[in-house]
Structures are given as C-alpha cells and as structure tokens.
C-alpha cells in the first residue's frame, strides 16, 4: 500500500527515498503485515473508541454540527531519544527565558530600558495587563503549563513556530492517543521501547501544587481546582480529563465565591477555601469587577484576592504579552538577555509590518509568504501566499495597509510530512508537534507531545477546527552516550 507513496519534495519523517529510516524500520515492517481491510477496520475502531469515551472538540460555526471526534492516524511520529534530548532542553530554555521576561515586564522592565524590546510592543499589546504590575506571583513563576509548537523544514531542522503561554490545550489528547494506539494497534508496541507517559500526571500535579500562595499558613496542604467555562467550551474534554487525572475539583465561576479577600468553593458541607486555581478561561472573563463586566464565567473580586497573595492563578494573568505573535520574534533575544545563552531551538524568520521597509518588501513578495494576525489562533485570519487566490492576496494587502501592527509575515516553510492512512490509502500529510512543559519548582517536559497532522491533502493547516487530526508521538528509547546527553546550552562567550 506504500508503493504509490511519494516522499520527495519535502522532508519525510518516516522515509528516506523509498526506504524507511532506521528508527522507523521495525514499525514499517509491522505496518506492512496489515491488509487494507484490516487497517480500515482498525481506523474505525480507533474513531469509535474516541467517540465512546466522549473525546470530542467543538467547532464553532460548523454547518454540520459542532461536536466532532479528533481524527486519529495510526502512523506515529517517532523521534530518537538523542534527538528528543535536544528538543527537551531547548523547550526548557525557552520557557525559562519567557518566564524571566514576564517577571521583568511586570516589574522593572529592564529589557525595555536596555533597548532590546520596543516599549510600544509591550504597552500597546492587547494582552499586557497593567493590573499585574509589581504583583509577585507564587514561586516567581508565571508559566505553569506551556505548549511550544515546533515544525521541521525541508532539511529536517526543528524551528519554534509559536509559544502558547495562556491556556494551551490538547494535553489530554497526548494520553488518549497513546491509550487508543495500545488498544487498537497493540502489535506496534512489541518491538519498541518508548518513553512512558505514566508518571507525567504526577509531575503535573507536583508542579501545580508547588504554587502555594505567599500568605498560606505552613503545614496545610493547598487545595486546587480547575476553573472551566463549562461543557460547551471547545476544550471541555481537556478540562474534564485533567481535573480527573490531577484529582482536583472541576468548577465553574458560579461554584466559587470571594469573602474577606479569600476564595471559597461552595460545597454541601459549606464553604471550602481554595488556594490554587488552574483556570481554563481567558483573562478578560476571570473577574467581572476587574475585567469584562458582562462576564458570567468568572468570579467577582477574584483579582483582589490574587493581588492580596491569597490565591494562585495558573497560568498567571497577563501571560499573553509574551506569546503574542509580534513578541515571538524577540524570544531569541530574551534568551540571550536573561540567560546569556544562544537559543537551542531557532525561530522562523519574522517580519514586523509596522516597519515601513519590511512592509514594502512583504507587500512585494506576499505570494511567497505566510501572513498572520498577531491576535488570532487556530489558523484563522491567515494567508498562505503560494496557495492564495488573487482576491485573497488583495484582501490581505488592504488589511496590512489599514492595520500594519496587527499582522506579521513569515516565509512559507516546507513543513515536514509523514504518511497518514485515510480513505483506504497512505498519502503524505504535513505535521507539526506541540511540546508541553509543566513548571513548578522544577520543569518537566512531556515525552513526545501532540503531533498534529493536516489531513486535507496538500494543506498546511494542522488545527483540528480546520480538518486537522492527531498522531501518537513516540520517543524511541536508546542508549544515550555521555557526550550526547550533556548540556547543549552555549554560553555567549563560546563555552559550553
């Protein structure tokens, strides 16, 4: 069935020419044993398993219903452990620098004063939250959970495409993809030693509970809850999964109340004080007194409790100023400034369109570029120049001229591809990888992460809301030589 599979033109995760790469050989051999009918039946079983467990996401505005299962593909992304070690260290480095930036930008703003980041980029950022100025968050950590999106180019080199520091979603799919893979395709696991996910929920809970409020009395165990917008939220399954596996209560805003500058959860036994809120609603909806007065999702006066140091909110309020697409271009400079290190994982080149020279060049070469709205997500309000019509290009030129600060441009990267089995055949689909970092006193990186795949043939958009699906991600265990596992952080004076 792989006979017609074309691995040319793009970097292929599985194949080198017409031969499987060394770390895929065993999997390829197992895969070749199945007939088309067997693979189609297993595909149906996998989708039925997702549906049976209620593993769905919401597509807002869909014409044929909003609840859908995540399309799952049986060909995993396999990453050798030596390669993963570099990714893991690069993600930790990036999250550390971003957290230091958030500490700084809401305090002394040294990086702005020293001229490394333009002041207007921060102060005009819609996600910059003045209410956070001089506010000390527990353990000086703004980022409890980060989702760092990686891509590979035509050479196979990894690049960071995006940082998600507000409410990164999808972590439940990492675990469910593995469970469904083991249930439906147990044959694939007999010859592979894969880094386990088993301890990762314990690591996540340890990181969560490390955020004890500064005023909390010694000796008392912190009480944490997960704050959701409710069952109609697009990521509700994610919320439900995490609350269950972290053994914390899933609550809505109406379940919490503020009294005497403390937050309490309503229970049948009376009020119970809450110390840590892992919130999965946006800043604007957290507190109708401090933010949007029309919000029915949040808790009135919650920010007053937060400012008093009587509750931890994770991720911290105001994180959006660091993961904004316009700020993204400055993350390598943050790493150099705060850590005195060279970035392990590079950025994709980014053009800021408020700069007149850069804007003129971008408008002239727009057919070759990707244009993104700095505030949009999920693949919306984005132009992929090589695939765009003349009308679409004209529309985006007008948008750029009207609101140049609202858009950035990047080169069109030839994203890596991997085989996907859909509609009775294998064909190459573009993929990316969301890597999750969980930070408390220590930083843990989930082994593998969420591999997202653009299942529409030729599409570059991996988002589930626009036809994307998911793959399991295997970190293939191997003997790590000392030289390969040692630190790759390069200090700016050239030493290691």
Residues 293-311 pLDDT 10s: 999 999 999 999 999 999 9
Same domain? For 469 and 387 the reply is no
- 361 falls within a domain: yes
Quick one: CA dihedral 458, 463, 468, 469, positive or negative? positive
Give CA–CA dist 399/324, Å, rounded.
19
Same domain? For 370 and 461 the reply is no
Same domain? For 34 and 89 the reply is yes
Work out the pLDDT band at 484, boundaries 50, 70, 90. very low
For the chain, give me the number of helices (H) and strands (E)?
14, 23
Work out the pLDDT band at 488, boundaries 50, 70, 90. low
Same domain? For 401 and 421 the reply is no
For residues 274 and 264, the answer to whether their CB atoms sit within 8 Å is: yes
Same domain? For 359 and 432 the reply is no
Range of the domain at 361: 351-411
Give CA–CA dist 179/99, Å, rounded.
33
CA nearest neighbour of 432 among 416, 413, 412, 411 = 416
Same domain? For 115 and 185 the reply is yes
Same domain? For 321 and 389 the reply is no
By DSSP bridging, strand 224-227 and strand 249-251 are parallel
Q: What is the pLDDT of residue 495?
A: 39
- 327 falls within a domain: yes
Region of poorest pLDDT, from 322-331, 378-387, 454-463? 454-463
- Whether the pTM exceeds 0.85: the reply is yes
Helix (H) or strand (E) holding 266: strand 262-267
Q: What is the mean pLDDT of the chain?
A: 91
Same domain? For 112 and 31 the reply is yes
Domain final position from 411, 428, 460: 411
- In degrees and rounded to multiples of 5, residue 421 shows phi and psi of -105, 110
For residues 286 and 313, the answer to whether their CB atoms sit within 8 Å is: yes
Q: What is the pLDDT of residues 108-155, one digit of tens each?
A: 999 999 999 999 999 999 999 999 999 999 999 999 999 999 999 999
Q: What is the pLDDT of residue 494?
A: 45
For residues 283 and 303, the answer to whether their CB atoms sit within 8 Å is: no
Report the alpha-carbon angle 244-246-250, nearest 5: 50
CA nearest neighbour of 476 among 11, 24, 15 = 24
How many domains are there within the chain?
A: 2
Domain final position from 392, 411, 430: 411
The tokens describing 407, both together, are: 């858009």
């Amino acid at each position: 069935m792989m006979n017609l599979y074309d691995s040319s033109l793009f970097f292929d995760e599985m194949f080198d020419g017409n031969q499987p790469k060394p770390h895929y050989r065993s999997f390829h051999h197992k895969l070749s044993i199945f007939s088309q009918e067997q693979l189609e039946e297993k595909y149906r079983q996998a989708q039925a398993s997702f549906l049976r467990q209620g593993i769905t996401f919401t597509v807002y505005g869909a014409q044929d219903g909003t609840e859908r299962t995540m399309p799952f593909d049986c060909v995993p992304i396999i990453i050798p452990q030596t390669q993963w070690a570099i990714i893991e260290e690069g993600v930790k480095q990036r999250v550390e620098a971003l957290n230091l930036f958030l500490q700084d930008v809401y305090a002394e703003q040294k990086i702005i004063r020293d001229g490394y980041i333009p002041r207007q980029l921060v102060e005009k950022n819609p996600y910059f939250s003045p209410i956070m100025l001089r506010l000390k968050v527990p353990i000086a950590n703004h980022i409890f959970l980060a989702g760092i999106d990686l891509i590979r180019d035509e050479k196979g080199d990894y690049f960071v495409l995006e940082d998600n520091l507000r409410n990164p979603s999808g972590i439940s799919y990492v675990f469910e993809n593995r469970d469904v893979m083991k249930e439906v395709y147990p044959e694939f696991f007999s010859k592979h030693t894969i880094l386990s996910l088993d301890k990762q929920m314990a690591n996540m809970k340890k990181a969560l509970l490390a955020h004890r409020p500064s005023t909390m009395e010694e000796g008392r165990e912190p009480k944490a809850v997960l704050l959701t917008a409710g069952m109609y939220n697009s990521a509700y399954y994610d919320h439900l999964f995490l609350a269950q596996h972290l053994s914390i209560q899933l609550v809505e805003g109406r379940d919490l109340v503020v009294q005497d500058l403390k937050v309490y959860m309503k229970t049948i036994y009376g009020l119970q004080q809450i110390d840590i809120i892992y919130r999965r609603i946006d800043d604007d909806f957290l507190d109708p007194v401090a933010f949007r007065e029309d919000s029915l999702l949040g808790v009135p006066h919650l920010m007053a409790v937060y400012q008093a140091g009587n509750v931890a909110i994770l991720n911290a309020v105001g994180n959006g100023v660091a993961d904004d697409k316009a700020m993204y271009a400055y993350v390598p400079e943050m790493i150099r400034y705060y850590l005195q290190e060279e970035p392990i994982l590079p950025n994709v080149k980014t053009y800021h369109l408020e700069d007149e020279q850069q804007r003129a060049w971008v408008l002239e070469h727009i057919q070759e570029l990707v244009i993104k709205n700095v505030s949009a997500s999920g693949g919306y309000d984005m132009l992929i120049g090589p695939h765009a019509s003349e009308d679409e290009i004209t529309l985006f030129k007008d948008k750029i001229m009207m609101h140049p600060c609202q858009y950035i441009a990047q080169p069109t990267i030839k994203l890596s591809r991997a085989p996907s089995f859909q509609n009775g055949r294998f064909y190459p689909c573009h993929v990316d990888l969301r890597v999750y970092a969980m930070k408390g006193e220590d930083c843990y990186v989930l082994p593998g992460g969420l591999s997202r795949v653009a299942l529409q043939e030729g599409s570059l958009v991996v988002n589930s809301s626009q036809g994307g699906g998911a793959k399991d991600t295997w970190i293939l265990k191997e003997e790590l030589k000392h030289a390969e596992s040692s630190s790759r952080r390069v200090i700016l004076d050239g030493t290691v």
